[in-house]
Amino acid sequence: MVQQILYRALVSSRWLAEHVRASKIGPELRVLDASWYEPGQRDAQKEFRERHIPGASFFDIEECKDKSSPYEFMLPSENHFADYVGHLGISNHTHVVVYDGDNLGTFYAPRVWWMFRVFGHRTVSVLNGGFKNWVKEGYPVTSEVTRPEPGMFKATLDKSLLVTYEEMVTNLTSKRFQVVDSRSEGRFQGTEPEPGTQGLEPGNIPGSLNMPFFNFLTEEGFEKDTEEIRNMFQEKKVDLSKPLIATCRKGVTACHIALAAYLCGKPDVPVYDGSWSEWFRRAPPEYRISKWNRNKA
């Protein structure tokens, strides 16, 4: 069996800065700022207009989603995604580097990394350390707007990297997949509220395990080294040689689990796109595990 060659999932600020300095941002290399913040906290687009990595474009996750869905940030259609990224100057031959400006170092960038992969694009990377460390290390920023020539992008949905509600229900009995939830322990257990969402109580899917996404990051905001990540999975008794599904609240930080597994040589981790936001609203009460009601009582 021929081992699959994995495209680099992470690039360093130094690597990207060298390409910026050499004026290599263009049809073959595009940089995307995928920042998003809860309303009232920070204004991602305003911050992007004020300063961003030279040559970068803003990836608006509010625009590149299924707006007809009642759930948060569900995947757009193939045509929607293709049109959206095409207008950002991206073709099927472009190496895409994604970052965000979160204080943790990385938050939304892995979601966009996964979105490209689920639509059949493999040449995509996350900027290790994010914009926070790009600035900290003294690399250039600009307020100059980049208007790239549109690219031709063909999106082909890879269903092996995407899991639906119905498949999650089936897995309750088949137990074919291990399920790992990336939310904080309190939200997973139901001892802390779900932030920013009215009517959504905390809790978890029966049989799921908890690996908070921020534990994959160092205090400085970089991805932990592969051996440390592999040990983290082992400590949680997650077998990377077996099928695995990543979930969270809205299919965003679940992508940190997919990225972490990818770094360990496992590129086939699908994300439950609806995640807890959908599960809580659709699953019967016996399929929701939570301490929330007891605490409220």
Cβ atoms of 209 and 226 within 8 Å: the answer is no
Q: Which two tokens stand for residue 184?
A: 């904080």
Q: What's the first-to-final CA gap in the chain, in angstroms?
A: 56
Rounded to whole angstroms, how far apart are CA atoms 221 and 95? 23
Q: Which of 64, 248, 255, 264 is catalytic?
A: 248
Distances from the Cα of 62 to the Cα of 45, 67, 194, angstroms: 11, 8, 20
Q: Which two tokens stand for residue 237?
A: 């008794």
Cβ atoms of 180 and 257 within 8 Å: the answer is yes
248 is catalytic: yes
Helix axes 226-235, 254-263, angle to 10 degrees: 120
Rounded to whole angstroms, how far apart are CA atoms 188 and 253? 13
Quick check: helix, strand or coil at residue 238? coil
**Cβ atoms < 10 Å from Cβ of 199:** 7
Active-site annotation, residues: 248
